[in-house]
Amino acid sequence: MTDTTARIPKLTRKGQATRDRILQAAVELIAERGVVGTSTEDVRKAARVSGSQIYHYFDSKQALIRAVITRQADAEPVPGRPMMGALDCFDALRAWADAAIQRQEENGCRGECSLGSLAGELGAADEDSRQDLSNGFLRWQGLLEQSLRAMRDRGDLRPDADLGELSLALLTALQGGTLLTQTMRDIRPLRAALNAALSYIHSFAADQR
Amino acid sequence: MTDTTARIPKLTRKGQATRDRILQAAVELIAERGVVGTSTEDVRKAARVSGSQIYHYFDSKQALIRAVITRQADAEPVPGRPMMGALDCFDALRAWADAAIQRQEENGCRGECSLGSLAGELGAADEDSRQDLSNGFLRWQGLLEQSLRAMRDRGDLRPDADLGELSLALLTALQGGTLLTQTMRDIRPLRAALNAALSYIHSFAADQR
DNA sequence: AACTTTTTGGGTTGCTCAACCCAAAAACTG
DNA sequence: CAGTTTTTGGGTTGAGCAACCCAAAAAGTT
């Protein structure tokens, strides 16, 4: 994977902060206006930096976008809900799904610049971005799979449950549900998708009932 | 909904054909390069029409895009697999899902310009398009729900099955699965998503095995 | 204090592309 | 054949925008 980040030899705390401010501004603008609807000039204004600052920290708009992608990919699939070690029983999984739903409701079913939206917008167009996105999804799937593995180790899930498939089902439900929910501005798609996925996972519970 | 189609007073068979050729070219180009990656000039060349033909049949690029959306929305969720009346038992549903999977495989997991991709690309940016897309999804959900209703009437599904939720779960699975599959260029996400959704629906079968 | 990094604010350049115009020729319709 | 519709092929215009340049001032570091 090409590195689009390392440009500046040294980067003081302040430099880091400015770079982050630019990145954060890009994330927020893209969330509400999409990649195409966001010009570097918009980002510059929103980040309150002047002139050539953006091109001081990023090689190109593409590099900035890719930095946005990896930032989102390194974040939690459901913002504010850390997964590591926490999702290890059915109740926790249910709570995680409910948090995703609640978050969308609070946002008025508006975009969040999650990987899913970015994938829709960029996937077809740019191969480099597509790979970054692919890696992001892979990472998220890994996180989910790890949680499911913890559940299986605890004896919640049957030993023969295919964790790869289950984690994929959950991830696609989250992404598909979010896509429809944001497009239709209606929380029901996401709710139905996650209900179905959880129920499917539950059908592999060790103790049925 | 604003009508973006009716511009020309009369439209002979030939005019219709040319308009269709433009629309079709737009569909194909957008499928492989996305909306942003496709200029009106590209469409013009691909449709083998000259000069101002595109603006003769469409008010603007936006109008053309919206026409693409509604064309896709009026098509079948899984191209080449008509649903009306055909999907009325579990086997038919399974065959439909398999067709979706097979199609993606044949395409090398590449984009198809289905509503899902368009939604990702346009949803955030443009309100009019978002509504067209929303209506498209709604139509597809209706088709699925109708099929499930047929299954319930036949006695395949329990009377208390929530058809609205089930159809949403299936549609989100198709969309989310397709999104991940196309981004990761791997058929497994779509397969896992549809497996999960079908299995979920099957858990509402009248005769549990 | 010497040095490095960051920031400012003002450029410019050159391309892409949507939108639109026109007048004449070709094709179709009744 | 007269009238309408379609098509051709050549424009132009103007906006938006990415990419890049620079030199001086401010801030930070050691």
What is the structure's pLDDT at A40? 95
Q: Mark which residues 86-125 of A lie under 8 Å from B by CB.
A: 111, 116-125
Nucleotide closest in space to B15 (CA vs C1'): D6
CB nearest to B120's CB, from A119, A130, A173: A119
Q: A32: closest CA among B127, B136, B65, B63?
A: B127
* Owner of token pair 């629906």: B201
Written as six digits, the tokens of A69 are 């992608």
Q: Mark which residues 138-197 of B lie under 8 Å from A by CB.
A: 138, 164-166, 168-169, 171-177, 179-180, 182-185, 188-193, 195-197
What residue is closest to D9 (Cα–C1')? Answer: B51
To the nearest 10 degrees (0 to 180), the angle between helices B90-106 and B188-202 is 170
Strand D proximal to A51 Cβ, under 7 A: yes
Rounded to two decimals, the pTM is: 0.92
Asked whether the beta carbons of residue A172 and residue B193 sit closer than 8 angstroms, the reply is yes
Strand D proximal to B41 Cβ, under 7 A: no
What is the structure's pLDDT at A4? 44
pLDDT band at B6; cut points 50, 70, 90? very low
pLDDT in tens, A67-106: 999 999 999 999 888 888 788 899 999 999 999 999 999 9
Q: Mark which residues 38-77 of B lie under 8 Å from A by CB.
A: none
- Please determine, for residue B7, whether its predicted confidence score (pLDDT) is greater than 70: no
Domains of chain B, start order: 5-73 (1.10.10.60), 90-208 (1.10.357.10)
pLDDT in tens, B71-125: 999 999 998 888 887 888 999 999 999 999 999 999 999 877 689 989 988 877 7
Average pLDDT, chain B: 90
Residue predicted with more confidence, B31 or B195:
B195
Nucleotide closest in space to A9 (CA vs C1'): C5
C1’ D25 / CA A21, Å:
22
What is the structure's pLDDT at A14? 81
Asked whether the beta carbons of residue B111 and residue A123 sit closer than 8 angstroms, the reply is yes
pLDDT band at B8; cut points 50, 70, 90? low
Asked whether the beta carbons of residue A168 and residue B193 sit closer than 8 angstroms, the reply is yes
Do B34 and A124 touch, CB atoms closer than 8 A?
Answer: yes
Give dist(CA B158, CA B167) in Å, integer: 15
Q: What secondary structure, in 3-state letters, does B48-105 show?
A: CCCCCHHHHHCCCHHHHHHHHHHHHHHCCCCCCCCCCCCCCCHHHHHHHHHHHHHHHH
Strand C proximal to B159 Cβ, under 7 A: no
What is the structure's pLDDT at B83? 84
Strand D proximal to A60 Cβ, under 7 A: yes
For residue A149, give the 3-state DSSP assignment: helix
Low-confidence ranges of chain A (pLDDT < 50): 1-6
